[in-house]
Amino acid sequence: SAVISQKPSRDICQRGTSLTIQCQVDSQVTMMFWYRQQPGQSLTLIATANQGSEATYESGFVIDKFPISRPNLTFSTLTVSNMSPEDSSIYLCSVGREPTYEQYFGPGTRLTVT
Amino acid sequence: AQKVTQAQTEISVVEKEDVTLDCVYETRDTTYYLFWYKQPPSGELVFLIRRNSFDEQNEISGRYSWNFQKSTSSFNFTITASQVVDSAVYFCASTGTASKLTFGTGTRLQVTL
């Protein structure tokens, strides 16, 4: 497994502002992902964070709204831009290892938009 | 594309009862992986088990056991002698060659004294 930390653990933000969430892993990993979990719902993949290139977004998620950076193999950021109350969710990063594709999750960032 | 169905939205049992959480998956991939995760009230997602498509051997880990049946596309999870600490939301998930996890909707397990 891997030790994954996220900052901040929670935040309350005003509508129209942006928040950047950080994800740090204690070892180099090839695969990093960002998920959203809306209240009482399951997890939905936002994007795959690719080291050295643009992230790969899932249907329904766009780079302008959720820009992602991944400068190296241990760190990634997700920005939630121009927030609205509908963005209130838990945002989780995960790391995956080949060839088993097991994914381990960070503790999550609980975001509330007012 | 993967699809995972967890038909049980919520289950409530009394401590020491056995409980089975159902998971049915759909995939066109010949190689795929199945997972179970636990999400306690604290919110963190805890990895429990991984199974690959060419290994139908069932697994037991303490009070937990998993039954993988390709014939019925099911990967069910049983907790024996449940405890209050087992109260959580349990997610079944799958991934194929694209290595992206697809989650089921989750089953909330409530274990009471």
| B43-100 tens-digit pLDDT | 899 999 999 888 888 888 899 999 999 999 999 999 999 999 999 999 999 988 767 8
Q: Tell me whether strands B10-14 and B107-112 are parallel, antiparallel or unpaired.
A: parallel
Closest CA to B87 of B39, B54, B18, B46: B39
Residues 91-110 of B with CB under 8 A from A: 91, 95, 99-106
**Best of B45, B48, B50, B55 to mutate (most A CBs within 10 Å, chain A):** B45
Q: Is B71 left (phi over 0), alpha (psi -120 to 50) or beta?
A: alpha
Is it the case that residue B106 has pLDDT exceeding 80? yes
Give the pLDDT of residue B55: 84
Contacts of B44 in chain A (CB under 8 A): 105, 107-108
Give the pLDDT of residue A83: 97
Nearest residue, CB atoms, B105 vs list A42, A108, A110: A42
Beta bridge partners of A4: A25
Q: Is the model more confident about A52 or about B3? A: B3
How many CB atoms sit inside 10 A of residue A7's CB?
14
Beta bridge partners of B21: B77
What pLDDT, in 10s, does the model give residues A36-92? 999 999 999 999 998 888 899 999 999 999 999 999 999 999 999 999 999 999 999
**For residue B11, what pLDDT band results from cuts at 50, 70 and 90?**
very high
**Best of A3, A43, A58, A102 to mutate (most B CBs within 10 Å, chain B):** A43
Residue A59 sits at the chain B interface (C-beta within 8 Å): no
Residue B62 sits at the chain A interface (C-beta within 8 Å): no
Residue B31 sits at the chain A interface (C-beta within 8 Å): no
Inter-chain touch B100–A42, beta carbons under 8 Å: no
Give the pLDDT of residue A100: 67
Alpha-carbon distance A34 to A50, whole Å?
A: 11
Contacts of A102 in chain B (CB under 8 A): 33, 35, 47, 50
Closest CA to B74 of B34, B28, B32, B31: B34
Alpha-carbon distance B48 to B69, whole Å?
A: 18
